[in-house]
Amino acid sequence: MTYIYALILAIIEGLTEYLPVSSTGHMIIASSFMGIASEDFTKLFTIVIQLGAILAVVVLYWKRFFQSLDFYFKLFVAFLPAAVLGLLFNDLIEQLLESPITVAITLILGGFILLNVDRWFNKTANVLEKQEVSYLTALKIGFFQVLAMIPGTSRSGATIVGGMSQKLSRKTAAEFSFFLAVPTMFGATAYKLFKYFKSGLVLSNKEINLLVLGNIVAFLVALLAIKTFIDYLNKNGFKLFGYYRIVLGIALLLFHFFVRPLTMM
C-alpha cells in the first residue's frame, strides 16, 4: 500500500463511517479498484483506521461519556448481539467481505429502505431533542446492528433505522448510533489485530506509519462529517443517501458485468 492509497482510504473512512452509505462497502470498492484489496495489510488497515473515527465521536460528545454508568451499560447491551454473532459467524463474514457484488446489491437494497424510512417511522417518532434510550430499545438497536455484518449495509444506517423503528427521533437515533460505534469498532479492531498477529504476520515501520497517517486523517475527516451529517439529517432526512446508494450500486453492477469483473484477487 502506498501513502496515497492510505490517504484516500482514510478520507473514505472518515467521510462514510457515520453516514448511512457503508464505509466498509466503500473501502472494499476503492481497494478493489486500487488492486490491493486482497492484501492482508489492506484488510487490517481498513479496520484499524476506524479508531480515528471513534476518537472523533469521543471528542465531539465527550460530556456524554462522563454522564453516568447507565450510559455505558446501555451501550454494552446494544453491543452484545454483534459481538456474539460476529464471533460465531466470523468465517462467513470474512467471505462476504471479499465480494464487491454483495456490496453493490446491498447498497441498492439499503437505498430503497432509506428512501422510505422517514415515511415509515419519522411520523411516529418523538421529536424531543433529548430522549432516554431504554435498555430494551438499546438491545433492539443492537440486533439491527447485526445486519451491518453484511458489507454494504452500513452500520450507522442499520442502527439509525433501528432507533427510528423504536420511535426515536432522527437526531437521537443518529447520536446513539455514533456512541454505539465506539465499543463496536474498538472490539472489531482489537479482534482484527489479534488475528493478524496470531497468524504470524508483523508490521513493518512503513505499515505502522501508514496506520498512524490513516487514523489521523480518518479522525479529522470524521469530525467534519459527523457535524455536517447531523445538521443535514435534521433538515432533510435520508432521501439523498438513498438515491446515492442506489446509483452507486447500479453503477458497480454495470461496471462488473460490462467493463471489468470486480474481484478481491
Return the pLDDT at 96.
58
Of the candidates 66, 41, 8, 4, the one whose C-alpha atom is nearest the C-alpha of residue 192 is: 41
Q: Mean pLDDT in runs of 10 for the chain (265 residues)? A: 94 91 86 85 91 92 87 94 81 65 89 88 53 87 90 88 88 90 89 89 93 96 90 86 94 87 58
Return the pLDDT at 207.
94
Q: What cell was used for 260?
A: 471489468
* Residue 117 near residue 70 (C-beta atoms within 8 A): no
Return the pLDDT at 244.
94
Inter-axis angle of helices 170-198 and 205-236, nearest 10: 160
